[in-house]
Structure 1
Amino acid sequence: MEMVQIAVVVVILLALVKPLGTYVYHVFSNEANWTDKVFGPFERLLYKFIGIKNRDGMSWKKYALSFIVTNLILTAAAYLLLRLQWIHLFNPNGMEGMEATLSFNTVISFITNTNLQHYSGESALSYFSQMAVIMMMMFTSAATGFSVAIAFIRGLTSRGQTIGHFFEDFVKAHTRIFLPASFVITLVLVALQVPQTLDPTLTVKTLEGAAQQIAIGPVASLESIKHLGTNGGGFFGVNSAHPFENPNPLTNVIEILSMWVLPAALPYTFGRFAKSKKQGWVIFSAMMVLFLVCLTTVYAAEKAGNPVFGGLGIDASQGSMEGKEVRFGIAGSALFTAVTTAATTGSVNNMHDTLTPIGGLVPMAEMMLNVVFGGKGVGLINMLMYAILAVFLCGLMVGRTPEFLGRKIEPREVKLIAVAILAHPFIILVPTALALLTDAGRAGITNPGFHGISQVLYEFASSAANNGSGFEGLGDNTTFWNISTGLVMLLGRYISIIAMLAVAGSLLRKQPVPETIGTFRTDNALFTGLLIGTVLLIGALTFMPAVALGPIAEYLTIR
């Protein structure tokens, strides 16, 4: 029965990929279509209001600069709002201003679409901060990431001279995708008993007569963009395990699909831009194969349970339910775990720190690879990066100049891709080593031994992948952890984005090469296998030594 539940969700996703991917293509194709009639008049008012008169395409440098400057302005405004939180309207619970290093970590976390939370929302933020800072950055970070992904696709597939106009893409991502979708999902969640109110925290009496504080607020509206934008930051500290954020199995499925469907649809959008749907399905198939392997592994590990329980005489026949909500069970928890780290969302409906060692390895591995669907465009960009690399390696083996989508892959592109590939493990493994070497880093570890290494490794993998899920159990609201993870989140977001925009700009300037009988095909099952092999080979060689010291060593010691 549990496998049927999982299969139904996967089938629903597969049914949504093509129509949603087609819709996204129409939104960003800059070709006249029906979406212009619906959203065009409102968008023209927005362009006039923000002073954009000319929406001609930008070079990759101008696009990247516009993206970075917009993020800087939003970050500065958000930081001030958090520091001055005590003067806000909509602060019925009297929240004080947030501490400086925690404010730094929080604004960096949300502008980078990470949503790593070193605070508990119900006890640290006013309603105004939840709406004007957290939700605002959930929309804008998702829209900027989505815009960059579309620009990268244009660079690979366009025959023009530009990768698009950042502010036009940014506005369209809001008006045609995230705002209307969030509005609909919010109404659905409210109908399913998720709170949406500005009333203060409730004080109620228990059956024993004791007073109890029950936090409420504008939860449903935050939940919708939290998942649609693959953000992941929860209104409450325990995130989607909280019954107000995720009351029942139906809301659990809605949240899973909300965070999964747009990243899954983007490969099909890429195929439409490339004028070859097969290209899109190859990328999607590689992602889905990797995802199904991860999902099967985490489900099997949690279903098998912890062998230590058997040695203690505890019945573990139902699997490992430690840290899981009974209303979701192992299937709903395993699927949520696999999807939230595959889609780099970071929301959780169970405690990842209590997963079995192999179960905990799965979300860690998905963040280390960072290509299994990914967040708003990140997964697609990274998978296309690996596709270009796979073509380059195959070209070296057969002695031909590698080509991808009719454009030659030369040293400049390979060097930029190497920067993006090497930066990711560097900003995970180096900070992990520093944390384990320093007193400030080790002070946050609550479970010494191999599990403690996993806690540290997971925290930096989550930060670097802009995922935001926590292994938890780590005492991370300290100056060391706030600053270190903040810097890792910044580097994880902007190094790869700038490098890949540079790749898009470089390929855009090249003249298309006619396809010949000797052209290496990138739209068939063979290339899907090569792509998966390239991802696994690089990921395994890079991270296996570190993983062996954490979850693998822990697994071997409890057998």
Structure 2
Amino acid sequence: MSPVLAGVLQLTALIAALALAYRPLGDYMAAVYSSSKHLRVEKVIYRCIGANPDAEMRWPAYLRGVLAFSVAGVLFLFLLQRVQGILPLSFGFASISPDQAFNTAASFVANTNWQSYSGEQAMGHVVQTAGLAVQNFVSAATGIAVAVAIALVRGFAHGIHGRQAGGPTGNLGNFWADLVRGTVRILLPVSVIGALVLVACGAIQNFSGIHEVGRLVNEHGMGGTQQTGGGAYASQEVIKELGTNGGGVANANSSHPFENPNAFTNLFEIFLILVIPFSLTRTFGKLVGTVRQGYAILATMGVIWLGFVCLMMWTEFAHGGTALQAAGAAMEGKETRFGVGASAIFSVSTTLTSTGAVDSFHSSFTAFGGGIDLLGMMLGEIAPGGVGSGLYGMLVMAIIAVFIAGLMVGRTPEYLGKKIGTREIKLAACYILITPTLVLGFSAASMVLPDALGSMLNTKALGAGPHGFSEVLYAFTSGANNNGSAFAGLNADTPWYNTTIGLAILLGRFLPMVFVLALAGSLADQKPIPETAGTLRTEKPLFTGLLVGTILIVTGLTYFPALALGPLAEGLS
């Protein structure tokens, strides 16, 4: 079978699996977040944390809950890493340095999982399971809750259903209830099933120590031992993909056979990355009372994702050069067990979501292939994006698209029965300006400050050339957009990069949440507007096309100069 045909068949199987899961999972998540009942185990959790799950919250209270929970998570994970040297099952690993501990704590709490360390050579079992794996669950549940997949959706839904409830209330639900439900009813059950599938297919799941597995001897008879350790690979692998987290136990991430044993598990892990973000569009449609609105958002996400996959496959299969043509594709850095097609699908899926897991090294992709990955993150990771963050990012872009349409026809824009006025547009504009400011600002500083520039010049990549610049641009794009993947050539384990990427991660995660929750509160306060003949039909293909164009144009105008200095310059040279 040709590599191209194999890639097409894998893509077809993946789309079919996502289509089968779309409706049942989307309906189930809508039922979870609209239910008024609490499970017994949830009631125990509420009593332990002292929360009243039935208390309605306006957006400032909802935001305070998100920030308080996240600050506690950062502090706990930071301290856990700093005392690792005295913890059981640490296998002699030293405590993590302060700057790296801060970077890792910020990264995992913010659903980014940027790792400037070698996982199996730095973290013991307690930190991996009690610290990192726990954050993989709760950071993902926070993203869904903030709906901001769910809170923003409720902002629209109050306008639609508020007529039966006596009018808008401005309430967005209860953060603690949303957090617990997302973890207990969605992420945990699916993760248990997914972990069993991975173990059955060969992934490792144990608390074994470090073992000698062989000796390395040179021609002079000298050498050392080769060692490897066990770990809870399968359980962390499933939630890092399902929760669009991305940080693995092993430094090689999802190209490591302990995490990703064969071609089936590779495709299964891509499915886990995409299934919740895509299915949340169905949840959105159910909660706002019209599934066609969900289909319009799904179509937008699907068109961008499929377009990027096709471009990546074309780039990696058709790259010129005698050696590359003889191999059938650009094979450097690709996972030979899965093929170039599978690596292309995984790469696009992980950068168009906020996952960051990799089964190949993005720095080894062709120049244009690396540019596609960069552009995917620069879109705001909304096609389909991370769990929760992808949907609320897409809804913000929908508001911008509606506003543009309103300007073109001279009509006050509205979306799902809500007026899009000055306040809403200002909040949406602030949302879309945050990450470009962080990415371009920190990248520019890294190109002129001596310590940061020295790290780039010493990279194993192409030094100070376009590829070196792409390394720096990719690092801050990945951090600010809460992706977590890396080009893998930049030495980011320095005080400068650990600190600045950590700050970009935190600001890129929580500042957008502030504006999204404020936007949700503004929408929830509004009275619904009846639909008229002049209302823009946002469930039609015309709006889908407008939304896709808006996303690409806004991103292109923002990032094109930076892309021209990096991957485009390298690809055209």
TM-score range, shorter chain: over 0.9
State how 1:47-86 maps to structure 2 within 5 Å.
47-53=46-52, 55-86=54-85
Q: Hey, what does 1:143 align to over in structure 2? A: 141
The aligned length equals 546
User: Per the alignment, do residues 432 and 507 of structure 1 end up closer, same or farther by CA in structure 2, a change over 3 Å counting?
Assistant: same
Q: Hey, what does 1:271 align to over in structure 2? A: 285
Q: Hey, what does 1:214 align to over in structure 2? A: 228
Matched residue type, 2:121: S
Distance 1:489 1:205 in 2: 40
Matched residue type, 1:97: S
Q: Hey, what does 1:253 align to over in structure 2? A: 267
Q: Hey, what does 1:118 align to over in structure 2? A: 116
Secondary structure at the counterpart of residue 443 of structure 1: helix
Distance 2:350 2:539 in 1: 28
TM-score, normalised with respect to structure 2: 0.93
1:406 pairs, out of 412, 417, 442, with: 417
2:435 pairs, out of 402, 413, 424, with: 424
Matched residue type, 1:375: G
Contact 1:109 1:486 in 2 (8 A): yes
CA shift for structure 1 position 422? 1.0
CA shift for structure 1 position 444? 2.1
State how 1:298-447 maps to structure 2 within 5 Å.
298-305=312-319, 307=320, 309-310=321-322, 315-370=325-380, 371-445=382-456, 446=459, 447=462
Uncovered stretches (5+) of structure 1, i.e. residues with no partner = none
Q: Hey, what does 1:529 align to over in structure 2? A: 545
Matched residue type, 1:320: A
Contact 2:216 2:226 in 1 (8 A): no
User: Per the alignment, do residues 314 and 173 of structure 1 end up closer, same or farther by CA in structure 2, a change over 3 Å counting?
Assistant: closer
User: Per the alignment, do residues 316 and 344 of structure 1 end up closer, same or farther by CA in structure 2, a change over 3 Å counting?
Assistant: farther
State how 1:174-253 maps to structure 2 within 5 Å.
174-206=183-215, 211-253=225-267
Contact 1:82 1:98 in 2 (8 A): yes
Distance 1:203 1:551 in 2: 42
Percent identity over paired residues:
42
Distance 1:25 1:42 in 2: 20
Secondary structure at the counterpart of residue 271 of structure 2: helix
Q: Hey, what does 1:520 align to over in structure 2? A: 536
Distance 2:214 2:360 in 1: 28
Q: Hey, what does 1:485 align to over in structure 2? A: 501
- Greater mean deviation of Cα atoms: 183-192 or 521-530: 183-192
Contact 1:304 1:317 in 2 (8 A): no
CA shift for structure 1 position 54? 5.3
CA shift for structure 1 position 180? 1.1
Deviations 1:220-263 (A, max 9, x none): 11111111111000101110011111110011011111111000
CA shift for structure 1 position 211? 2.9
Matched residue type, 1:135: A
Q: Hey, what does 1:98 align to over in structure 2? A: 96
User: Per the alignment, do residues 89 and 394 of structure 1 end up closer, same or farther by CA in structure 2, a change over 3 Å counting?
Assistant: same
Distance 2:57 2:444 in 1: 41
Matched residue type, 1:74: G
TM-score, normalised with respect to structure 1: 0.96
Contact 2:53 2:174 in 1 (8 A): no
Distance 1:298 1:441 in 2: 31
Deviations 1:257-306 (A, max 9, x none): 1111000111111011111111000001001101111101111111013x
Matched residue type, 1:167: W
CA shift for structure 1 position 330? 0.3
Distance 2:351 2:191 in 1: 21
Secondary structure at the counterpart of residue 444 of structure 1: helix
CA shift for structure 1 position 502? 0.3
Contact 1:60 1:504 in 2 (8 A): yes
Q: Hey, what does 2:555 align to over in structure 1? A: 539
2:22 is equivalent to residue 17 of structure 1: yes
Distance 2:509 2:501 in 1: 12
Distance 1:478 1:23 in 2: 44
CA RMSD, Structure 1 to Structure 2 (Å)? 1.4
CA shift for structure 1 position 156? 1.5
Contact 1:264 1:284 in 2 (8 A): yes
Q: Hey, what does 1:465 align to over in structure 2? A: 481
Contact 1:186 1:220 in 2 (8 A): yes
